[in-house]
């Protein structure tokens, strides 16, 4: 793996570039992005040069797509005519079914592996990039498809050197789970913040604790990014939201009847389970 192209040099793309350098990668890292994003990524040391997509794609052994999920689809479409045999294309998008299907359709002649680092932040841009962004965090990889690539093993080894915990998952398994573990929490943070916004109670400024800040942190996320994610995973997200609404209605009724303990214990059980390192099957 001599040359890497990073398409979309925002938080994730620039962090990948920084992490590559930190683990000792000496080759060229070509950025493909808007002028402003490229300047930021270069300033941060995440890329060594920049090029248009066609040139970068022709030069690269690994093409890393770290744009918003709607743009990743568009790039996959455009990449088809530029990629060279043997290249490995991977993405870092938050949905997998749509992207992996698109790649199966357009990039069947080369090797494609869907990816998703579960390591976002509510801030954006290369100025927030971090060589340790992936450390200790799950990095989902979908099964390789298309033709084999000699760079697949190097890519997996690089992720491991970056401290990422590789988790293999089928695209639909990923999207179903993330609807509950990521897309639903995002929407609840947004809905909670929106509910308080509608109240327009100035006392909320002073009368809140750390719990509210935790529960509304995700509400800082960008609508552009999320509109595309939610559109691509709509069915699973609606299932998760409807199940939550039913459960939350139970919670409301239990508060009204004064018997909330059982629901608290169930919630506590899950919160402990998901934090218990012993449960991790990695």
Q: How far apart are CA 269 and CA 282, in angstroms?
A: 21
Nearest distance from C-beta of residue 63 to its own copies, angstroms: 24
Identify which of residues 90 and 149 has a Cβ nearer to its own copies in the complex: 90
Identify which of residues 108 and 172 has a Cβ nearer to its own copies in the complex: 172
CB burial of residue 34 (10 Å; 0-12, 13-18, 19+): exposed
**Under rule CB under 8 A, residue 3 binds its own copies:** no
How is residue 268 written in tokens?
């506590």
**For its own copies, which stretch binds (CB under 8 A), given 21-29, 32-40, 154-162, 166-174?**
166-174
Instruction: Give, as ranges, the residues between 33 and 52 that touch its own copies (CB under 8 A).
Output: none
**Of 35, 81, 85, 209, which lies in the binding site for its own copies, with binding defined by CB under 8 A?**
209
Nearest distance from C-beta of residue 72 to its own copies, angstroms: 18
Identify which of residues 51 and 73 has a Cβ nearer to its own copies in the complex: 73
Q: Report the Cα 235 to chain-centroid distance in Å.
A: 19
Identify which of residues 85 and 203 has a Cβ nearer to its own copies in the complex: 203
**Under rule CB under 8 A, residue 172 binds its own copies:** no
Identify which of residues 78 and 217 has a Cβ nearer to its own copies in the complex: 217
**Of 49, 127, 157, 280, which lies in the binding site for its own copies, with binding defined by CB under 8 A?**
280
Instruction: Give, as ranges, the residues between 135 and 164 that touch its own copies (CB under 8 A).
Output: 137-138, 140
- Kindly determine how many residues on this chain lie close enough to bind its own copies according to the rule CB under 8 A: 96
**Under rule CB under 8 A, residue 23 binds its own copies:** no
**Under rule CB under 8 A, residue 263 binds its own copies:** yes
Nearest distance from C-beta of residue 74 to its own copies, angstroms: 18
Instruction: Give, as ranges, the residues between 78 and 137 that touch its own copies (CB under 8 A).
Output: 118-120, 137
Instruction: Give, as ranges, the residues between 227 and 246 that touch its own copies (CB under 8 A).
Output: 227, 230-231, 234, 237-238, 240-245
Identify which of residues 85 and 270 has a Cβ nearer to its own copies in the complex: 270
Residue of 8, 126, 139 lying closest to 67 (CA atoms):
8
Identify which of residues 84 and 201 has a Cβ nearer to its own copies in the complex: 201
């Amino acid at each position: 793996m001599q040359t890497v192209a990073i398409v979309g040099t925002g938080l994730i793309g620039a962090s990948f570039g920084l992490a590559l350098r930190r683990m000792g990668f000496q080759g060229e890292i070509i950025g493909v992005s808007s002028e402003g994003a490229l300047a930021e990524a270069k300033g941060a040391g995440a890329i060594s040069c920049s090029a248009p997509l066609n040139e970068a794609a022709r030069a690269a052994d690994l093409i890393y797509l770290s744009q918003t999920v709607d743009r990743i689809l568009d790039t996959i479409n455009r990449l088809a005519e530029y990629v060279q045999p043997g290249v490995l294309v991977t993405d870092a998008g938050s949905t997998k079914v749509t992207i992996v299907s698109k790649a199966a359709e357009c990039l069947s002649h080369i090797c494609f592996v869907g990816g998703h680092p579960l390591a976002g932040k509510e801030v954006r841009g290369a100025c927030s990039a971090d060589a340790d962004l992936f450390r200790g965090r799950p990095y989902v990889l979908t099964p390789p498809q298309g033709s084999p690539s000699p760079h697949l093993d190097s890519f997996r080894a690089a992720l491991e050197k970056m401290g990422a915990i590789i988790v293999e998952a089928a695209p639909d398994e990923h999207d179903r789970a993330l609807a509950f573990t990521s897309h639903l929490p995002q929407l609840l943070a947004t809905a909670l913040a929106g509910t308080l916004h509608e109240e327009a109670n100035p006392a909320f400024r002073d009368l809140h604790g750390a719990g509210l800040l935790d529960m509304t942190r995700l509400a800082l996320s960008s609508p552009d990014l999320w509109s595309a994610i939610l559109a691509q995973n709509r069915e699973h997200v609606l299932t998760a939201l409807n199940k939550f609404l039913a459960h939350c209605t139970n919670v409301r009724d239990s508060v009204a009847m004064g018997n909330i303990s059982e629901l608290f214990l169930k919630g506590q059980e899950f919160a402990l389970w998901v934090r218990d390192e012993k449960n991790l099957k990695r």
